[in-house]
Amino acid sequence: MTQREDLETGNTALINETEVIVGGIFAEMLGMAGVPRTTSLFDLGLDSVSVTVACARLEQATGVRVRFSQLFRTSTVAQLAAWIDAASDKLNTEPGIPAEPSAGGGAALASGRTALG
């Protein structure tokens, strides 16, 4: 499905808990009832000023530190949620080993969160 079809059909069916969290944050920030999971958040109206706020809210909600640049690399709800899940899984399954999610490097912090971006 193309981004335009997502917008026209309202394809907002989020498939896991992380997508629901990420989608909810951006829906609220963008003033929408829901956001399509495969449409670029920037196409929906997210701007670079709002990215900083989004990063803070995502970290608060997921425990994974999301850097400004990561939102540009994974700019859809589906991509960003998958990346957050990968970063979180890496931290939870390999303690003491630096987390390096495939979409962007990072290092485990003493707090258990990941610095990424």
Domain CATH code at residue 25:
1.10.1200.10
pLDDT reported for residue 60: 96
- Per-residue confidence in pLDDT tens, the chain, 117 aa: 444 444 444 555 778 999 999 999 999 999 999 999 999 999 999 998 999 999 999 999 999 999 999 999 999 999 999 999 999 887 776 555 444 444 444 444 444 544 444
pLDDT of residue 50: 94
b/e 30-63 (16+ beta carbons within 10 angstroms → b): eeeebbbbebebeebebeeebbeebbebbbeebb
Structure confidence at residue 65 (pLDDT): 94
pLDDT of residue 97: 47
> What's the predicted TM-score (pTM) here?
0.70
- Residue 83 CA to residue 107 CA, distance in Å, equals 14
Containing domain of residue 25, as a range?
3-116
Domains identified in the chain, total number: 1
| pLDDT at residue 48, as a whole number | 87
Q: What is the pLDDT of residue 107?
A: 40
pLDDT recorded at residue 89: 82
